[in-house]
Structure 1
Amino acid sequence: MFTKAFRVKSNTVIKGSDRRKLRADVSAAFPSLSADQLGELVPNKEELNIVKIYAHKGDAVTLYVLQKSPIFFQLEKQLYPTVYTLWRYADILPAFTTWPQVVQKLIGGADLMLPGVVVSSTGLPDVHQGDCCAISVVSNRAPVAVGTAALSSSEMISSAMKGKGVNVLHTYMDQLWAFGDKTAPPVIPVADGSVQVEGGVEGLDSGGEGKEEVMKCEGEESEGPRGTQVAVLELPCQNLQDLSLGAREKGEQTVEATDETQGEEDSRSPQKQMDSLLFQCFLHALKIKVKKSELPLLTSTFLRKHMAACCPKGKHLDIKKSSFKKLSKFLQCMQKEHSLVRVKELSKGVDSIVEVDWKNPELCSFCIPEDWEPPEEAVEGDGSSELPYQPPVITPLYGVTSRLEPLFQDAHRKKGAVLQASEVRTIITDYVKRNDLVLESNKSYVSINPVLCDCLLEKSEYQDVELLKWEDLLSRVLSRMQACHQLLFPGQVPVVRKGQVEPIDINVASRGSNKKVTIIKNLEGFGMDPVVVAETLQHRVQASYVLHDIPGAKDRQLVQIQGNQVQHVGKLLLEQYQIPRKYIQGLDKAPKLGKKK
């Protein structure tokens, strides 16, 4: 269900009554949870949001998000836990066990087939058709998928373990998992330390019917010697993302090489590893990315644009997993303890790096890691780029109309041709000089010939106007041409559109009980994602937002956020997105501050 990206319809903070109802629904759906566990999942005061989304097939789904990670999703009034919840409380659902190789197919959108189910010595979990259940691997009880049973346990056994076993709804590494903090599964050992499979692990290479059906269900054939298969199966669940076909073909050698190269890092705590990575990327960014001309530089831009680009391949910067927790604290440490930079608050809540000590010994002695590779440029339109937003370069253009076509014939510009103002000026100047229309007694005037008369003069001016000043002549030409504009986004092909640039429109409206809401339109015209803008505003002003489709406009949405937030919206667009003020409409509707008494 969540293998492809979904569309967010609304994201609101949960009300007190809805919070109590959710707690009751969770208790009814998962009775094994204790009162304390319910309080941890649905706390009274911590941030808890309701996010309504549309899956890629159009299904309406409600997400319950606790501290930016989804904990439950509701589909057709049925409540399901996410893998984030199951990693904390693994026993709230009956779980089927499978092989690590099968998980890759589940992540790709496949359902769990019965030949891929590992039957332990205690038998299958007791489920009825349609019951919510989890899927884990033989080496780890931490669930990696959630779904519904396609058959009851007795029907699975009577079918000789053939056919579909579980209809998978959500998996580790799908888009719902990516909506959260993207943590890897913890390692939860099985009760007795190993899974006792009927026939034993030796049955993997025995040519038995069970193993053949497992691999057949996966669409693969067993590769490599017996030792390779066992090594793969014994990998911990946190390395599931590395179980691609290419990695499996490398076998034990790849696993051993990885263990040797990462042995030193594994000896440190994850927090210390992240601290070290932050400092390395910080020095690396100052060394090769930041230029004096860029200062002052927003700290958020420095992190996303410069430090992220210096992160080694295969690693990911996450400030929350470090001992600093916040970027501002990390930069304060770099300022006070290392004297590398000077950070200043330019406006409330907006920090910038205003000075860098380029002669600092730590910076001068830093060497760029040999294994670092510059990030590849994002392919146009693939949506994979994580570079910060850059505003488009907007160029006014002018289209040749049928009335003005005789003026542009000699320049081989027909009706519909699009030109810049400088090109229009050159063509008109050449036309005037070629036809000797410059007045000899005063060269700032141009004589009007029949072509200029038909193209530029009104009927009432035919008898009276015989001369025009150069500037008047050129302004008349431009005013009678069709207005167009060109948008040039960095790294993309220029886009030419007819008409004037449609500005971003900010409006304030009243809803029930005279409550104010701020409505923002035409973000897509400037290459901005309404969802990203809405979420940024939500964190800044602590107010809920809703996205609405604009009638008659394909793939266009407006953002509606509670309260009069015009001032915050304007600040976001002007400072962070760097949209020119002339392309923002409605900034004057910000609430006016009362006079101090």
Structure 2
Amino acid sequence: MFKKPTSNIKNFSLLRSSDRRKFKEEILKKFPSLDSSLHILTESTIDTTETPINSFIVPEHIQSAKFVSNAGTHGVIYITNEKQPIWIRIDKDKKDFLIPSVYTLWKFSDLLPKIPTFTPVISILTGGANFMIPGIAFPSEGLPEVNEGELVSIVIRDLNIPMAVGTMNISTKLLKPGSTRKGVAVNILHVFGDYLWSMGDQSSPPELSNVKLCQEETVEADASESKVAEITEDIDENIENLHKELSISEVDRLLEASFYQALLEKLTPNTPLPMSTSQFYSAYILPCRPVDTDNEVDIKKSSYKKVSKFLKAMEKKGVIKIKESNQDLVLYHVNWKHESLDAFRPHKTIESATNEVEAQASTSVLESMQIQVKEVFKPKGAVVDLFKAQGQNINENTTYEYIEIKTIILDYLKSHNLSDKQNRRLVIPDEQIREALVTKSGERIPDKWTRDDLVHQIQLKMEPFHYVIFPDHDPELRKGAPKCIQISELKRVGNKVVTTICGLEVYRINPNELIEPLKKLCASSVAVNPTPQSLPKKPLMEVMIQGPQIKQVKNYLINTKGCPEKYIEVKSKGKK
């Protein structure tokens, strides 16, 4: 996953004490073997000013940053104050993985179940391959029991040195010595020598001082030269996206496919011609190569060897016309009705794949900046009894979103058969529901309700709360309905218009920090003054900008400050 540099790594930020504590608890829960390891470290640690947990697992100055891998996988990297990556969190196949780096595994080698291999295999893994079944060096005691999808470390046989981390592609119960089974054993996520490793001090484990990670090394005993050759051959045959040599005819075929794709997808009949053939090749054909072929589909690896020879072959087919102009070869005509274009079936290109990754990364970065607001409601009075009657376990901290409330009420109506038999779209509330609907004024409760009206009325009987979720912070539960940021345009003396912003403090935005950015954005003067509701202990400020600036201000708050658009209230122009 880290064989290429990751994209869009945000700035690293220091974890708060509370986040460090939660992170430590999560690590110990997921890796219970750490307790015994930490006990050993405690006994051997001379400097006891720091607990072993903080020193080795979650250091005091641990920092984190979100990233997007080259393959589009989203995650978080945790590093020490010395920039050493020690943990990685990724979201893969809708599952959250907390992964120790090789630097961490060298301190805690028993952190993960171990799958042993032969020394030469490591060089193959660092080249970007997954770990294949023939590469397993079966120990005499057998492999540890690991299910498909669970984390394991790949270790060098006998030396017990973790060199890679991945997820089992197959249960170890199905893997036996001497089996002819082939295929991927472990999907590699991180390996010694990859980009994540290079972010650290790029050190090797001390035990490797006399071990060479080269494929030509002589392997003792059962790991003979023939065994290594078998492993290498099996990996070459089975691993997807492994760099392998294509035949000249395959390169020719893929190059022609890229040529047709470039005409249909990028050049199009509206593109002005003539165009230099060098520009056509570099800016149109190369981006249209099939995905994952960028290193192999090259004019020099084809039978044509030169761009001019390739395009002359396409001219001979009648697809294009080229000519010399000012000592340069140019493309000046395309036969858009040629049968080759009609018969061609487009493929996913390198350019489209790159654009997808960049789009996902941009979306991820934008989402990571967004402030989220979630409205919830707390049961009270007779509504508590109603929810308990439907099997809900309620305490003083229990809250529900509207969709959850609706589900509970509809399930109650269905289980108690409260539909109106003459009109199935209506329901007749029983005594439990009528009790929840009672008002202080004693108004008459209708005998029949639509389901939506009934759900809405019960929700109104509940106490409103809301969560505000700031990036990289725990959710904050606040009482009452969410408050809005107000953007208003006001007319002043002489028909002058000013734009004001109030309510920024609710979303932790310092009004004074907006002065310079809004000056540049709106090309107007900006001032910050206390509002009439401001108090010394709870100051509330208003930002005032000269001119009608609602659109610019609103976009700035959404895209730069992450304010939720739903909770930005815009007021029409009016006289003061």
Q: Shorter-chain TM-score category?
A: 0.3 to 0.5
TM-score by length of 2: 0.35
TM-score by length of 1: 0.34
